[in-house]
Structure 1
Amino acid sequence: MNETVPSVVTVSSLDHKSAPRRIAVRRRPAAPSGETRPGVIWMGGFMSDMQSGKALAIDRWAAEHGRGFVRFDYSGHGESSGDFVDGTIGQWLDDALAVVRSSTDGPQIIVGSSMGAWIAMLVARALAVAGESDRLAGAVLIAPAVDFTETLMWDRLTPDIREQIERDGVWYRPSPYGETPYPITRALIEEGRRHLLLGSNVEAHCPVHILQGMRDSDVPWQHALTLVEHLAADPVSITLVRDGDHRLSRDEDLVRLIAAIEQIA
């Protein structure tokens, strides 16, 4: 499999006062045999990047089947510019929309992992408002952490930690996946409230398949079912993996992921 070469998409800051963000993108063009079929775009999770095992598994599949595939890093992640601590949901949404509009051709299947599933649903809403729903062929959501800054984070924090975030502007949450803690900022929490989806109907404007581990301590499987209930207007299926964790990156999980993409494609 040939490695894709990174390119850059430039995104202006929300306030137009900070320097433009340079978003790293890796694009695998479709082979002639795959040009009429939907492409795939990867949207990663919180503090993850486009070199994750799941993104690379999709890239291998795309290369083998001549499918177009795009993966990218949000600002402050991976190969993109910026500091992670400065990021917000709205900023990362703008990054994703810029990549969709500049680096994809024809309808796309969005594959969103954890936070990336929330970003994917926000992208779907923004495209619908702009009259661009024809860009969407489907969505595969892995452990969808929709509204996570509020429901899965703020609501679970102790009063002492909430006070620290409000006082100091940041709290460093220990990570179960490595030695580097996650900076949880006041800006992340407060700006995230502008993008909450649960509590009213969520419209993807395309078929949705959810993959959810039942041993996921970050995104409980009940949270995924709540999202299903809110996706009342779209065809939705969900696969619950009884022994699956949050990452769903074992070989058998990757097989399920590719099968979900192929089912929609």
Structure 2
Amino acid sequence: MSDIQYLTRPDGHRIAYCTTPGATPGVLFCGGFKSDMTGTKALALEAAAKARGTAFTRFDYFGHGQSDGAFIEGTIGRWKEDTLAVLEGVCQGPQIIVGSSMGGWLATLAALARPEKTAGLVLIAPALDFTEDLMWAQMTEEQRAVLLRDGVLREPSEYSDQPYEYSLKLITEGREHCILGPGIVFDRPVRILQGMRDPDVPWQHAVKTVEAFRGDDTRLTLLRDGDHRLSRPQDIELLIETVWSLIGRK
């Protein structure tokens, strides 16, 4: 495993990252909501990159993993800025930006902000606009009332013993970054991998995401038996093949 390094943000908070030098375009991995850079997909891509001599970077957002900050204080805008800081300050040359779940939204936002640093996107169960479409829109009136009253909502998680905490600021600030409605003008390759048994990001949301991208070179692969994580051996193999199919075109 690569050594952890830190990138200090203007507010003094440190963002933890691991990077491996190599050929470009490199690969930048953006993890999901409340996940970290030690997940199965990130490490598998890192190993594949090392074997192929390709540059690779993974990192933890503010309030995630080894990075500074309290998770509950994080927002889409803050995490977008973390992503851009790593893309600009750590990654050398253009990147294939890989984003899982929330990381798919952040990867897309980063690509739109820095197209000259983006060679393509690979999005895994991408949760673009999830704070509005998959959280706020799906909440009961009671949940919304609690969130509006307390400023935070705590819900059980299938992935952790600790409950997920959602702040009202996460929802309201997230609206400033929603991009599915107006459409996404992006002229580089986009590949989306989506499980049809995903309980968190429905496959219909992936179809909506594909329709939002205006570029012609946008492809969606639906895995009928795939879940949200897409971390089975066959899923990892497909992910690696998909990423290097884009690298091989450059």
TM-score interval for Structure 1 and Structure 2 normalised by the shorter chain: over 0.9
- Compute the displacement of 1:232 (Å): 1.7
Matches within 5 A, 1:44-123: 44-123=31-110
Secondary structure of the 1:82 match is coil
Deviations 1:92-150 (A, max 9, x none): 000000000000111100000000000011111212xxxxx221111100000000000
Partner of 2:9: 11
Q: Sequence identity of aligned pairs in percent? A: 50
Q: Structure 1 stretch 19-28 or stretch 247-256: which is displaced more? A: 19-28
Supply the AA of the counterpart residue of 2:130. F
C-alpha RMSD over aligned residues: 0.9
Secondary structure of the 2:54 match is coil
Q: Which of structure 1's runs of 4+ aligned residues deviate more than 6 A?
A: none
Supply the AA of the counterpart residue of 1:77. H
Secondary structure of the 1:260 match is helix
Checking the alignment, whether the CA contact within 8 Å between 2:187 and 2:217 is kept in structure 1 is: no
Matches within 5 A, 1:1-265: 3-12=1-10, 19-30=11-22, 35=23, 37-127=24-114, 133-265=115-247
Checking the alignment, whether the CA contact within 8 Å between 2:188 and 2:215 is kept in structure 1 is: no
- Compute the displacement of 1:58 (Å): 0.3
User: What is the number of equivalent residue pairs in this alignment?
Assistant: 247
Q: TM-score, normalised by structure 1?
A: 0.91
Checking the alignment, whether the CA contact within 8 Å between 1:124 and 1:203 is kept in structure 2 is: no
- Compute the displacement of 1:21 (Å): 1.6
- Compute the displacement of 1:234 (Å): 4.3
- Go from structure 1 to structure 2 and tell me whether the alpha carbon gap of 1:101 and 1:216 turns closer, same or farther (over 3 Å shift): same
Secondary structure of the 1:219 match is coil
CA distance in structure 2 between the partners assigned to 1:219 and 1:124 by the alignment: 21
Q: TM-score, normalised by structure 2?
A: 0.97
Partner of 1:16: none
List gaps (5 residues or longer) in structure 2.
none
List gaps (5 residues or longer) in structure 1.
13-18, 128-132
